[in-house]
Structure 1
Amino acid sequence: MTKRGLYIQMFSIHGLVRDRNMEMGRDADTGGQVLYVVELARHLSRHKDVERVDLLTRRVTDKAVSSDYAEPVVQVNDKFRIVRIPCGGGRYLRKELLWPHLDEYVDKTIQFIRSQDRVPDIVHGHYADAGYVASQLAQLFDIGFVFTGHSLGRQKKERLLKDGMREADIIKKYRIDHRIRVEEDVLKSCDLVVTSTHQEVEKQYGAYTDHHLPERFCVIPPGIDVDRFYPYYHDIAGDNERTEAALFARASVIEEMNRFFMQPDKPLVLALSRPDKRKNISGLIQAFGSDRELSSMANLAVFAGIRKDITRMGDNEQDVLTMMLLSMDKYDLYGKMAIPKQHDFEHEVPELYRIAAERKGVFVNVALTEPFGLTLIEAAATGLPLVATKDGGPRDIMANCDCGLLVDPLNPEEISGAIKTLLTRPDTWKRCSRNGVMNVRKHYTWESHVDRYVKSLRQTLAETGKQGMDVARPSNAIGRRLLRLDRFLITDIDNTLAGEDNSRLDELVRILKENRNRVGFGVATGRTVSSAVAFLKELGVAPPDIVIASVGAELYYGRELQFSNGWATHIAKGWNRERIVDLLADLPFLEYQREETQREFKISYNMAPAKDRIPLIHEILSREKCRYTLIYSHEKYLDILPFRASKGKAIRYLAYKWQVPLSHFLVCGDSGNDEEMLRGDIHGVVVGNYSPELKPLRGRRNVYFAKAPCAAGIIEGLEHYRFLEREGGGKRKKT
């Protein structure tokens, strides 16, 4: 059996993602997750079992950020690319504002996959937003789905409530309830959850009602680049020759910190994090400033992200940075505390750790909650001892490395006491320093992380029976099928596919079966999806690839009837169902149809024909600035849909999403609710038993009026256009 290396698509949608000079701490969305996904992708690309890694993020074209983030594709190395998919416009948006645009992201990612020579074997979503995107793709293409939450909504909501924020404000600002619902759905559908610590599995994921059994979790601590975070004493011994960039970075860091310090040679207490309340920077400053003995024996340096003007930053960052300045003043730490405005992650951060270690200092992370704590293993790798919170990742790190002390982050005396213990006991400091250097290299290298990661992926693919490293194994996933198809036949059901004359229906079914490898079959109907599928089964027609139901209000894929969230999101804009029902409630000639025919995006009435009735409905709805599509068919059915919805618009959406030319669609209908989908570049067929509403289409280009009724008319249209003989639209994807 032919094998091939894994093709992995990782998704990290929010924040600012690039492969070098990462702007760590710029805002709440550009932190440890960005670093982790870039380094994971980079090191995966070096693994022998990995053929290709694409890291997909959002494309940002915004003058407020670097033009780097507008580059569509960046080839990092021969096996690793960063791919930026546009959605929600070009402006840089915080992650909470991206939710309405994620279905657009899914659609455009499908287009990207369509442009490649291969469907990925694995999709890995990082955080809830990317988890949603990855789940949609995994379902369509029947591929492995891995999820890493990084942080979870239930814990955030609980923490904000404890901080005194009103629940209504939390929901409004952070869309937290929506995020939690997405996380629940993602955890139901994913094949594997990769976490950094056992505490995440037990306390964070354990709070979710549908979290997986323990065997569906894989705990793999992140790794670090030990070539960058080498020990401080290697410099002194001359074992590593510094590059010119590192020498410049060291000089720059020392110069910047020394602007703040009256006695720069004192031991250095170092903190490095985003300006986030959860990081508890104010607690560290309180511990340092309120202990006069500590503040007299050491200096404190807090690198809290990147800032230019605090007043132009987000509320969370403003609050944290303002509190830093106020605390500095409160404890009179001028000359003893440095709060630099920026740092270069790639070169300056490793030097920061080594400078602190050379000065026999301590690295402190007393976050209120810490899922892992990547900065802790970076610091420990350079020989800098740690003081860390007793929560989450630091507990695992300290158990593995024995390179510092754990403290209660809410106890300032315990924090200051632990720092003083390390500063005043040389033997303890040396032991922690030595243990950090040795044990980080034992437990936290990228090589070991990636080996375990790839092994877990291969095991997951084998257990789930999904595509992966196996070229020969066929897949019936609807997404893969749609990528392979050359053209589509889309037909109405009632009085088009079937009606009073079904004499040639079996022949049409046979034609579709014989051409199934290149021709997709879909129905576009006024029926609900359940009614349509049941009727097709009754007729002996195989399940279609596509069901456009309820006059275009809903779209479904494959025999599993996967609901198209992308279409629903697309048509929802400007739709107010209740408002339209209220406006038309007093019209005596409208009869509201039974409830089972009504849909979220369709309002259905019975209405007898009369000269001024449709103009009156248009006048009422237009006067009230409603946005809608009105469809009247068979001289008795009136349907009102969102202005973006209809059978024809659904077909155009399919052509756009799956990148199939409209000229490769053959569309068949018989009544007024088919009119729009018969127009334009599509090849249209009006069957012989058509309703009078379609007479105006006679003589139009690309609309053929068949003589025969129903299925016989469809076959006549296929022959008229020579639809099954036409050349395809280019080389199709191998899936």
Structure 2
Amino acid sequence: MSELLQAVVESQEKKDLRDFIDLLRRDGSHRYLLRNDILNAFSNFCEDHQKESDYSQTSALGRLIYYTQELILEYETLYLIVRPQIAKQESYRVFDDLSFEPLTIQELLDVRDRYVNHYHPEEGDVFEIDFQPFYDYSPIIKDSKNIGRGVDFLNRYMSSKLFQDPNQWLTAVYNFLSLHHYNGITLLINGRIRDQKQLSTQVKRALAFVSDLPQDKPYEDIRFELQDLGFEPGWGNTAGRIKESLEILDELIDSPDNQSLEAFLSRIPMIFRIVLVSVHGWFGQEGVLGRPDTGGQVVYVLDQARSLEKQLEEDIELAGLQGLGVKPKVLILSRLIPNNDGTRCNERLEKVYGTENAWILRVPFRERNPEITDNWISRFEIWPYLETYAIDAEKEICAEFEGKPDLIIGNYSDGNLVAFLLARRLNVTQFNVAHALEKSKYLFSNLYWQELEKTYHFSIQFTADLIAMNAAQCIISSTYQEIVGRPDSVGQYESYQNFTMPDLYHVVNGIELFSPKFNVVPPGVNENIYFPYSKTEDRIPSKIEQVEELLFYSNDESQVFGKLDNPEKRPLFSMARLDRIKNLTGLVECFGKSPQLQEHCNLILIAGKLSTSETTDSEERDEIEKMYRLIDEYNLHGKIRWLGVRLPKSDSGEVYRVIADHQGIFVQPALFEAFGLTILEAMISGLPTFGTQFGGPLEIIQDQVNGFYINPTKPEETGQKILDFVQKCEKQAEHWNRISEKAMERVYSSYTWKIHTTKLLSLARIYGFWNFTSKENREDMLRYIESLFYLIYKPRAQALLEKHKAQ
């Protein structure tokens, strides 16, 4: 990128660069611009200077501006933070005479500190956090397009090692197979196979034996013959399945490759007990959706638990372990809330509906201050209670399992921290799921953390994120861009590569994006609840009538605000919690600014509470006030219905279908969306969907094919896009049906829970094998992580606890 900058300052475009800088300085000489601001400013510059229409694409300066993510103006200096490609950043200091020099990360962080007047070199250096040395001994992905495909890389890496040094790796395979037990039952191989050479010999003998048997002969009928050869249960439930497993192992021994390695490891029965950690918010199966801090994550985790149990049962049956009484068990670890507000969140144990052995296990926070700990606690205030919570949860988990779990999966920042604490104590594989990293949602949240600390406590949360993401053996993301963004935007995890928390610490290298720990495994959608509106045989007429009444006609003022003048208009529908990022008030503004859209459509929202007196969440209160203000400002009475209801999950599925019956449209207007589960729910129901272009929806929706992108920061543009679609549907009756069909096809082909859990369990087995065979010395990293926990996280959490006690 220095060559491009050099080309600008050595050409006639040097004057344009100087004029552009002068334009920026007219609005103030001390400014911090992000990419959208920079592009808008450059567009204005091109217009003011009557540049050709393609100047921004064809000129060296235009290309430089395109790659610039941040621009910091000081009084006589300009700083460019350039992103020439995904997961790569360069920084330059440009002087008044347009000479320039590169900046180190440390120098850039100093500049950011100086911008907010928190640079104090006379007081000594700030604490630097650098994880890079701990990744130096790990295999690293080379090409950014392969980021998020860590398991593919690991399989190729391990199979190449197996090929290069067969004796060492076969020994590792033999030792790994010797490990596995279930409640004292030996699995896979027994003491008759004493080393890796004998393993190879016995595999061939066992293959010769099972090859002569009928393929459907049950394992129980040949169990003792296989035991004599050294093989215990776990290879398959029939002679045919056992033959397939042994053939894959035989091929792996003789001619290793990544496909056979993955196929073999995916069959090994080593995962039976799983903990899913979801601490914050109201976690339950009824009466929790729509409450503060509760939404898509609850749906995700419950559906994942059901699907995991089902997949584990299938795997156990295929492995031939059912006759031995092997049963999977899945625990969802959440917090017990004594003041349960009509939910079941005060119950220690609750069975997950539709499962045999999946449970919600609720553990309370210790009662340091019952006035606080007996109630729901915001996700921004939860931090002081998590360490002791993990200690208490460990005892409860081990009691429920009568032993240790095989896998712990954290959810969100707090759940991932608890997963780290549990995995560290139990020496168990840890997976992380972020759902959303707040750092990306709140612009400049790290730079202005001190001003935001009283409300959000980002210094604690971002430290917890650094701890958990580096400790995890595997990070599950829903999309590629969640990790490293797009060519024109930074990913959530990428934003942790380097940043400053002024006066607290500098993060020089916060995460290795090219680590094989990252894997894209999108969630699915519960097909029992969310299914096409056209599947009339699966719908209940009385439920349809009930939902119709609620959506369009009910006058119950405790649940609904607004009566529709013309309920027959096409419905625009959205459903989310009421907070700034979900931006439902932005959708109301978009609707209000388009009288034409109001002529064709009604706006129907299901969102949170209707009254500020009913909520203790400050953001929700602000959004409620803003909603009423916008309805009055644009005179939307008679054109909007706002439902402040918490629907049972089964009803929420019917809501989408009823909207589809009316040939409605789903709009997801979030300012940022990590994934977009409601988009999947709407699309599988058959609703044409308009989703935010900021975040995960970009990978779910294919624009103009099975849905549409919108920029929620441009309400007039969004309103026009929706209006264009509506008008086209009115002219061409089949247009709505065409998009509806494509939306359903998209979900069924890529976003089912069967796809998700099959991949997830395969990852768990492969990473388990990798951790065993790689002999990586993770202890040094874990000790470093513990230092951050005890020296930064814990004191700050303790200080927050003292504030809680004083309340």
Shorter-chain TM-score bucket reads: 0.5 to 0.7
Q: Contact 1:23/1:306 (CA < 8 Å) preserved in 2?
A: no
Identify the residue that residue 305 of structure 2 maps to in structure 1: 41
Q: Contact 1:107/1:566 (CA < 8 Å) preserved in 2?
A: no
Q: Give, in whole Å, the separation in 2 of the partners of 1:402 and 1:420.
A: 17
Identify the residue that residue 435 of structure 1 maps to in structure 2: 742
Q: Contact 2:410/2:431 (CA < 8 Å) preserved in 1?
A: yes
Deviation at 1:121, TM superposition (A): 1.0
Q: Give, in whole Å, the separation in 2 of the partners of 1:449 and 1:573.
A: 35
Deviation at 1:21, TM superposition (A): 2.2
Q: Give, in whole Å, the separation in 2 of the partners of 1:563 and 1:170.
A: 25
Provide closer, same or farther for how the CA distance between residues 571 and 354 of structure 1 changes in structure 2, counting only shifts above 3 A. Answer: closer
**One-letter amino acid of the counterpart of residue 12, structure 1:** S
The answer as to 2:359 corresponding to 1:95 is no
**Percent of aligned pairs sharing the same letter:** 26
Partner SS for 1:83: strand
Q: Give, in whole Å, the separation in 1 of the partners of 2:795 and 2:721.
A: 58
Identify the residue that residue 495 of structure 2 maps to in structure 1: 207
Q: Give, in whole Å, the separation in 1 of the partners of 2:522 and 2:795.
A: 43
Provide closer, same or farther for how the CA distance between residues 562 and 361 of structure 1 changes in structure 2, counting only shifts above 3 A. Answer: closer
**Structure 1 unaligned regions, length at least 5:** 468-475, 479-557, 576-735
**One-letter amino acid of the counterpart of residue 696, structure 2:** G
Quick one: which of 310, 316, 336 aligns to 2:619? 316
Q: Contact 1:272/1:304 (CA < 8 Å) preserved in 2?
A: yes
Once the two structures are superposed, residues 161-197 of structure 1 have per-residue CA deviations (whole angstroms, 9 ceiling, x without a partner) of 89xxx64231122110111111111122110000111
Deviation at 1:234, TM superposition (A): 2.7
Partner SS for 1:183: helix
Q: Give, in whole Å, the separation in 1 of the partners of 2:568 and 2:469.
A: 51
The answer as to 2:524 corresponding to 1:223 is yes
Identify the residue that residue 197 of structure 1 maps to in structure 2: 479
Identify the residue that residue 451 of structure 1 maps to in structure 2: 758
**One-letter amino acid of the counterpart of residue 358, structure 2:** F
**One-letter amino acid of the counterpart of residue 289, structure 2:** M
Q: Give, in whole Å, the separation in 1 of the partners of 2:667 and 2:783.
A: 56
Q: Contact 1:304/1:339 (CA < 8 Å) preserved in 2?
A: yes
Identify the residue that residue 647 of structure 2 maps to in structure 1: 344
Q: Give, in whole Å, the separation in 2 of the partners of 1:350 and 1:189.
A: 37
Identify the residue that residue 142 of structure 1 maps to in structure 2: 427
Deviation at 1:36, TM superposition (A): 0.9
Identify the residue that residue 660 of structure 2 maps to in structure 1: 357
Q: Contact 2:275/2:407 (CA < 8 Å) preserved in 1?
A: yes
Provide closer, same or farther for how the CA distance between residues 252 and 435 of structure 1 changes in structure 2, counting only shifts above 3 A. Answer: same
Partner SS for 2:709: strand
Q: Give, in whole Å, the separation in 2 of the partners of 1:419 and 1:561.
A: 48
Identify the residue that residue 24 of structure 1 maps to in structure 2: 289
Provide closer, same or farther for how the CA distance between residues 565 and 104 of structure 1 changes in structure 2, counting only shifts above 3 A. Answer: farther
Identify the residue that residue 289 of structure 1 maps to in structure 2: 592
Deviation at 1:45, TM superposition (A): 1.0
Quick one: which of 356, 360, 368 aligns to 1:82? 360
Provide closer, same or farther for how the CA distance between residues 562 and 457 of structure 1 changes in structure 2, counting only shifts above 3 A. Answer: same
Q: Give, in whole Å, the separation in 2 of the partners of 1:284 and 1:573.
A: 37
Deviation at 1:340, TM superposition (A): 1.4
**Structure 2 unaligned regions, length at least 5:** 1-176, 178-186, 188-268, 317-327, 368-373, 485-490, 498-509, 555-559, 800-807
**One-letter amino acid of the counterpart of residue 410, structure 2:** G
Deviation at 1:6, TM superposition (A): 2.5
Q: Give, in whole Å, the separation in 2 of the partners of 1:290 and 1:88.
A: 50
Q: Give, in whole Å, the separation in 2 of the partners of 1:150 and 1:401.
A: 26
Q: Contact 2:467/2:788 (CA < 8 Å) preserved in 1?
A: no
Q: Contact 1:246/1:348 (CA < 8 Å) preserved in 2?
A: no
Matches within 5 A, 1:543-558: none
Partner SS for 1:193: strand
Once the two structures are superposed, residues 223-253 of structure 1 have per-residue CA deviations (whole angstroms, 9 ceiling, x without a partner) of 1112322222333xxx324175555344433
Identify the residue that residue 69 of structure 1 maps to in structure 2: 345
The answer as to 2:395 corresponding to 1:111 is yes
Provide closer, same or farther for how the CA distance between residues 199 and 573 of structure 1 changes in structure 2, counting only shifts above 3 A. Answer: closer
**One-letter amino acid of the counterpart of residue 280, structure 2:** H
Provide closer, same or farther for how the CA distance between residues 307 and 124 of structure 1 changes in structure 2, counting only shifts above 3 A. Answer: farther
Matches within 5 A, 1:461-610: 461-465=768-772
**One-letter amino acid of the counterpart of residue 174, structure 1:** Y
Provide closer, same or farther for how the CA distance between residues 352 and 401 of structure 1 changes in structure 2, counting only shifts above 3 A. Answer: farther
Identify the residue that residue 727 of structure 1 maps to in structure 2: none
Provide closer, same or farther for how the CA distance between residues 334 and 149 of structure 1 changes in structure 2, counting only shifts above 3 A. Answer: same
Q: Contact 1:86/1:105 (CA < 8 Å) preserved in 2?
A: yes
Provide closer, same or farther for how the CA distance between residues 46 and 333 of structure 1 changes in structure 2, counting only shifts above 3 A. Answer: same
Identify the residue that residue 276 of structure 2 maps to in structure 1: 10
Q: Give, in whole Å, the separation in 2 of the partners of 1:21 and 1:198.
A: 32
Q: Contact 2:307/2:757 (CA < 8 Å) preserved in 1?
A: yes
Q: Give, in whole Å, the separation in 2 of the partners of 1:108 and 1:254.
A: 48
Partner SS for 1:449: helix
- Mean Cα displacement is larger for which, 317-326 or 111-120? 111-120
Provide closer, same or farther for how the CA distance between residues 442 and 306 of structure 1 changes in structure 2, counting only shifts above 3 A. Answer: farther
Deviation at 1:49, TM superposition (A): 3.5
Once the two structures are superposed, residues 285-338 of structure 1 have per-residue CA deviations (whole angstroms, 9 ceiling, x without a partner) of 122111111111110012112455546432100111111111011111100001
Q: Contact 2:676/2:696 (CA < 8 Å) preserved in 1?
A: yes
**One-letter amino acid of the counterpart of residue 362, structure 2:** R
Q: Give, in whole Å, the separation in 1 of the partners of 2:591 and 2:394.
A: 52
Once the two structures are superposed, residues 574-612 of structure 1 have per-residue CA deviations (whole angstroms, 9 ceiling, x without a partner) of 99xxxxxxxxxxxxxxxxxxxxxxxxxxxxxxxxxxxxx
Q: Give, in whole Å, the separation in 1 of the partners of 2:681 and 2:567.
A: 23
Provide closer, same or farther for how the CA distance between residues 49 and 263 of structure 1 changes in structure 2, counting only shifts above 3 A. Answer: same
Deviation at 1:255, TM superposition (A): 3.1
Give the greater-gyration-radius structure (CA). 1
**One-letter amino acid of the counterpart of residue 86, structure 1:** P
Q: Give, in whole Å, the separation in 2 of the partners of 1:570 and 1:189.
A: 17
Deviation at 1:120, TM superposition (A): 0.7
Q: Contact 1:61/1:67 (CA < 8 Å) preserved in 2?
A: no
Partner SS for 2:643: coil
The root-mean-square deviation of aligned C-alpha atoms, in Å, is 3.2
Matches within 5 A, 1:321-400: 321-399=624-702
Deviation at 1:416, TM superposition (A): 0.8
Q: Give, in whole Å, the separation in 2 of the partners of 1:11 and 1:123.
A: 7
Deviation at 1:560, TM superposition (A): 12
Q: Give, in whole Å, the separation in 2 of the partners of 1:181 and 1:569.
A: 6
Deviation at 1:347, TM superposition (A): 2.9
TM-score, reference length from structure 1:
0.61
Q: Give, in whole Å, the separation in 2 of the partners of 1:564 and 1:390.
A: 35
Identify the residue that residue 187 of structure 1 maps to in structure 2: 469
Deviation at 1:400, TM superposition (A): 9.1
Q: Give, in whole Å, the separation in 2 of the partners of 1:563 and 1:364.
A: 45
Deviation at 1:572, TM superposition (A): 11
Q: Give, in whole Å, the separation in 2 of the partners of 1:329 and 1:178.
A: 40
**One-letter amino acid of the counterpart of residue 82, structure 1:** I
Deviation at 1:10, TM superposition (A): 1.0
TM-score, reference length from structure 2:
0.55
Deviation at 1:149, TM superposition (A): 1.4
Provide closer, same or farther for how the CA distance between residues 379 and 452 of structure 1 changes in structure 2, counting only shifts above 3 A. Answer: same
Once the two structures are superposed, residues 85-128 of structure 1 have per-residue CA deviations (whole angstroms, 9 ceiling, x without a partner) of 11143222112222111111111012113424120111111111
